[in-house]
Structure 1
């Protein structure tokens, strides 16, 4: 692998929330960043090259992969709520395109693959304490099951073909730049309701606990694995601290100085009750740790949203 190739990174799903942030960070660090996306009107960082096409575009992949040192797979076309009633969406929109990518990577065993999974869903309800990378994978949603299936295919592929493989399991990621999606991104959604003065629907009584991790911290973790090709394996990426939705409501009211109207609705079976990630592995291997407190991250996100 030449020095030029080693500094070339292909971002699949690079126009999404995490992808745009990672693109900006790597571009600023002098990497040759290429973004695959189906979108057209995109705000991509200067110095990053955009290619119109999705992960299923084999012709485009065949043209780009020989020039890449690392592929970061961030592409996901579903949410837990979206595939809840239609589980085949996970197979059609996420798993099948990932298998197509693996088919193309067979010819490029030196190319490193970083797959972004979901630490917030793959463990299901692990009970008390924190979930580490060896915890049982028992997702409650088809979305989480799809991530587990993709991880399994990736490990099998790595064993057969030798491509260096990293699987990252971020918890609930939030921060400036996050778009608003129905049923996804609770901090972004709550802040929008606070801004608009509208009522926020919450599934359950607000006692469910999540590990919220700020976007800049997640991007910093991803950069560690792009920069050091000796790092392989599976790693949680989270704050390592749990906060309930009720805690989050109180934080948002303090940060915004506005009351947040909440309407509680019947709990859903697809929602994990409590998930906090154990991040000792990434801390020991990379020296990485989350540095942004939830209140500080929410405050920055609030300021960004108000400026839109």
Structure 2
């Protein structure tokens, strides 16, 4: 049985769709239920192990998606990042010591953990020098998982994902440029751009990311490995905004503000390792990914959209 912690959030909702299509057995653990997941959800509080420890004995693999923050949440407050994200993961790993868990998949960050790049492209052996509490927290969790794996209780796969985009993404959760740009288009709002719009970013369709997660569970080569996952292409902020305008048919209004100190300016991930070891290739390009997200965002903006389509980690 696969346990998905944070299974009603953006990535989790897409992962459950993926597992349903593959007829794979899973159990979702989350603070709230979500449409389409239903009876497969156990309501827990990840910050309180007593709410979930009894379920761990039935799990063989776990996918860890829980996050209390995005890069801007605790931008100048590392204590809050540690308290809300790092400590709950340390408690989970302690609780899992007496479980049947054999493999852990953790979704980390493909930009924040590396910090300013030392080379034109970033491979998995690039130095990790985060410049934000968010990136520092992600790296702490990675190291805790790696360290506890040396006891032989479980193996791990750490996925350093670029910026995921696609269905179920929410601008209200601060989940990225594409979500915010499409929200501005639909609501006739103004999109705030940090910096001059030339920063380069790698993206990944959430459906492709879910395929890597599943292969990380199934394929022995993924044991005790770290993978960068992205499209293998980069786009400037301005290019993404132009694409969102083109797809939505609305000229998105923008406002430029000062670059945030916690953001890494240019991130270009090298994805050769995941291609080679897991036989994976991204299927979706940037345009089709944004189109999928726009279709979902448009449906949510409809007066008939059900309340429980909202996103919750």
Q: TM-score range by the shorter chain?
A: over 0.9
**Corresponding residue for 2:5?**
12
Task: Work out whether 1:249 is the aligned partner of 2:241.
Answer: yes
Q: TM-score, normalised by structure 2?
A: 0.91
State the shift of 1:91 in Å.
1.1
* Partner deviation per Cα, 1:248-304 (whole Å, 9 max, x = no partner): 111112212221111000111111110011111110111112121111211222222
Listed as ranges, the gaps of 5+ residues in structure 2 are 301-313
Residue 156 (str. 1) matches residue 140 (str. 2): no
| Residue segments in structure 1 that go unaligned for 5+ positions in a row | 1-7
Secondary structure of the residue that 1:106 maps to in structure 2?
helix
2:313 equivalent to 1:301: no
Contact residue 15 and residue 35 of structure 1 kept, 8 A: yes
Q: C-alpha separation between the residues in 2 aligned to 1:111 and 1:64?
A: 14
1:127, distance to aligned residue in structure 2 (A):
4.5
CA contact 2:60–2:100 (8 Å) conserved in 1: no
Count of aligned residue pairs for this structure pair: 299
For the residue of structure 1 that corresponds to 2:256, the secondary structure is strand
Q: Secondary structure of 1:190's partner? A: helix
**Within 2, Cα distance between the matches of 1:9 and 1:279?**
26
After alignment, is 70-79 or 250-259 more displaced? 250-259
Aligned ranges 1:29-44 → 2 under 5 Å: 29-40=22-33, 42-44=34-36
Query: Whole-Å Cα distance in 2 between the matches of residues 305 and 75 of structure 1?
Result: 23
> Pairwise mapping of residues 1-308 of structure 1 onto structure 2 (< 5 A)?
8-40=1-33, 42-45=34-37, 49-108=40-99, 110-181=101-172, 183-232=174-223, 233-308=225-300
> Does the CA contact (< 8 Å) of 1:71 and 1:113 recur in 2?
yes
The higher-RCO structure (CA 8 Å, 6+ apart) is 2
Between the aligned partners of 1:303 and 1:61, the Cα distance in structure 2 is: 35
State the 1:230 CA deviation.
Answer: 4.9
Give the CA deviation at 1:56. Answer: 3.1
**Counterparts of 1:52 and 1:108, CA distance in 2:** 19
Could you tell me how far 1:231 is from its partner in structure 2?
2.2
Stretch deviating more after TM superposition (84-93 or 205-214): 84-93
In the TM superposition, residue 139 of structure 1 has moved relative to its aligned partner by 1.2
Structure-2 separation of matches of 1:117 and 1:228: 19
Distance 1:164 1:100 in 2: 18
Q: What is the RMSD computed on CA atoms of the aligned residues?
A: 1.7
Q: Give how far 1:30 is off.
A: 2.3
Query: Following the alignment from structure 1 to structure 2, what is the Cα–Cα distance between the partners of residues 188 and 224?
Result: 27
Give the equivalent residue in structure 1 for 2:306.
none
Aligned-residue offset at 1:113: 0.7
How far apart are 1:86 and its partner, in Å? 2.0
Q: Deviation per CA, 1:202-257, whole angstroms, max 9, x where unpaired?
A: 11100111101111111111111122355211111111111010111111122122
Q: Aligned equivalents of 2:220 and 2:54: distance in 1?
A: 23
3-state SS of 2:109 partner: coil
- How far off its partner does 1:182 sit? 5.4
Q: Is the 8 A contact 1:106 1:161 kept in 2?
A: no
